[in-house]
Amino acid sequence: MARFKQFVPWGVIPAALLPFHGDFSIDELSFKSHLADLAKVRGISAITINAHSTEVSSCNFDEQRCVLDFALDAVGDRIPLVNGIYADGSLEAARLARMAHAAGASCLLVFPPNIYRNGQRPEMSIEHFRRIADVTDLPLILFQYAVNAGGQCYPLKTITSIAEAVPSLMAIKDGCSSPELHERQVRALQSLPRPINVLTTHSAWLFSSLLSGCNGLLSGSGSVIADLQARLFEAVRNQDMNAARKIHDRIHPTAEVFYATPKVDMHNRMKEALVMLGKLPRAVVRPPLMKLSDAEIDKVKGALIAAGLLSKDRMSMVA
């Protein structure tokens, strides 16, 4: 049963990373320490687990249950946990949702099935969410993929149809990668009779995204810069543009490096950043991901220095 029954997905929600030992097994102690660090950040409203940032595609059902249990044990009494529902089939998605509900998650982030790469019908997407909502009354967040992700990007009309059919849909995590569509979704969804919050995940252009009026952000880079994200969100909400620009100037170098091509390494880079900051013991990723090159790691170091998160003295210590 959810520990935060009235949770509404809104505000700043960092997506945690999942540390591994050298043999690729989950490093429980480092994970709990990482979660505790995030939970202490002023201004965040929840933490996301079992998502891209925690390499969910490389974790089986039992490991995902362990990740949730570890998170609940570490911070579940202090902050809501958003648990990802990453599955290719609706039946497996419902099984994951049932597990997360029973364990104590506060919200579910629903990924689009990979089969949608070949296209989707609106009734298919509605039924997928209905099957999840049939087994849990937890609030749902729809993950909106980039417009170039083929059928995995939901048409706006489909999102509104899902919202009408599934009252527990309360937000979207918007990664559409189109400023035009992003603003259209913010205007349309947040003005519905039952508003659907838009949580941006456009970390590469976070400042301008927040200016569109979205009601929050859900981002893997929050695993490293949650404090800066929370301060930026607050400054924009308060219309303090001078403060917002100064914070954005610190965030920008990290965005340039974390979200460089190939984007498949974005969370790999974030793990290296936390090692440099002394918050993780190692930056192990599960195959097919691989260790970054020394040149790429140097870029991460430079970004942390430019953001004022790492001193040059500290840089020489981690070199």
Q: What average pLDDT does range 233-261 have in this prediction?
A: 97
Query: Which candidate, 178, 163, 99, 83, places its Cα nearest to that of 126?
Result: 163
Dump pLDDT digits (tens) for 25-50.
999 999 999 999 999 999 999 999 99
Higher-pLDDT residue of 4, 317: 4
User: Residue 129 above 50 pLDDT?
Assistant: yes
Asked if residues 267 and 52 have their Cβ atoms less than 8 Å apart, the reply is yes
User: Residue 315 above 60 pLDDT?
Assistant: no
Dump pLDDT digits (tens) for 205-224.
999 999 999 999 999 999 99
The domains located in the chain, with CATH, are 11-240 (3.20.20.70)
Q: Which of 127-131, 247-251, 313-317 has the lowest mean pLDDT?
A: 313-317
Q: Report the chain's mean pLDDT, rounded to a whole number.
A: 95
Dump pLDDT digits (tens) for 48-64.
999 999 999 999 999 99
Confidence of residue 149 (pLDDT cuts 50, 70, 90): confident
User: Residue 111 above 60 pLDDT?
Assistant: yes
Confidence of residue 319 (pLDDT cuts 50, 70, 90): very low
In the prediction, which pLDDT does 6 show?
81
Q: Which of 54-63, 144-153, 195-204 has the lowest mean pLDDT?
A: 144-153
